[in-house]
Chains A and B, each alone.
Chain A
Amino acid sequence: DAKTTQPTSMDCAEGRAANLPCNHSTISGNEYVYWYRQIHSQGPQYIIHGLKNNETNEMASLIITEDRKSSTLILPHATLRDTAVYYCIVRVGGSQSNFGNEKLTFGTGTRLTIIP
């Protein structure tokens, strides 16, 4: 799986949009970008994933650059409950997941703190 690079930490004011960047310059054509978050002491939580098109769900939006070498997770109206560590992961998978290669590699992620 391709390696990702994320800032160690970020702050965001409550109610504002939180934009979390991720670099994955060695991503392969069949690798998807996944985002998870981990709220203190809890298990990681799936947020969103995408291949090359921008994606949106009830939690967040994912913007992937045209060359797919970087992406941004957007939490449109951050709340205090969004304070967590956010992990950007690239892996083979998505709509045609290769279950023999489901080994997610978690880095250290971005610690996002929402400021009241």
Chain B
Amino acid sequence: NAGVTQTPKFQVLKTGQSMTLQCAQDMNHEYMSWYRQDPGMGLRLIHYSVGAGITDQGEVPNGYNVSRSTTEDFPLRLLSAAPSQTSVYFCASSSLAGQYFGPGTRLTVT
């Protein structure tokens, strides 16, 4: 049982490039979500999904797209990277007890 996994761990992008942050969980959780954490700040919700085929926006969705074709995977796409998207990105999946977070992806946009 690997829990929540994220790839890559580190990524550097140039402004305007696109990329996909991968997230997978093997706990059969219906609910998954993406957060970003800027230095010295708490987590802010980007997008979430309550099950395969269902996604919704969180607090800061602009510039990001998500899809949920399977229960296990919840990728986050940056359409056209901007320096303001430099952050640490955490994926999480949820059980009745609480949310379980992945190790994070540290993204730098230059």
Q: Which residues in A have some Cβ–Cβ distance to B below 8 Å? A: 34, 36, 41-46, 49, 87, 93-97, 99-100, 102-109
Among A34, A94, A102, contact of B31 (Cβ-Cβ < 8 Å): A102
Chain B interface residue count, CB cutoff 8 Å, equals 29
> Which residues on B sit within 8 Å (CB–CB) of A109?
42
Given contacts A42-B103, A43-B104, A100-B50, contact A36 B30 (CB under 8 A): no
A43-B92, A46-B98, A100-B50 given; A106·B104 CB < 8 A: no
Tell me whether chain A's interface is mostly helix, strand or loop, or mixed. loop
B96 nearest in chain A by CB position: A97
Query: Do A87 and B42 touch across chains, with their CB atoms under 8 A apart?
Result: yes
Residues of A close to B28: CB separation below 8 A = none
The reply to whether A106 and B43 contact each other, CB–CB distance below 8 Å, is yes
Chain A residues, CB < 8 A from B64: none
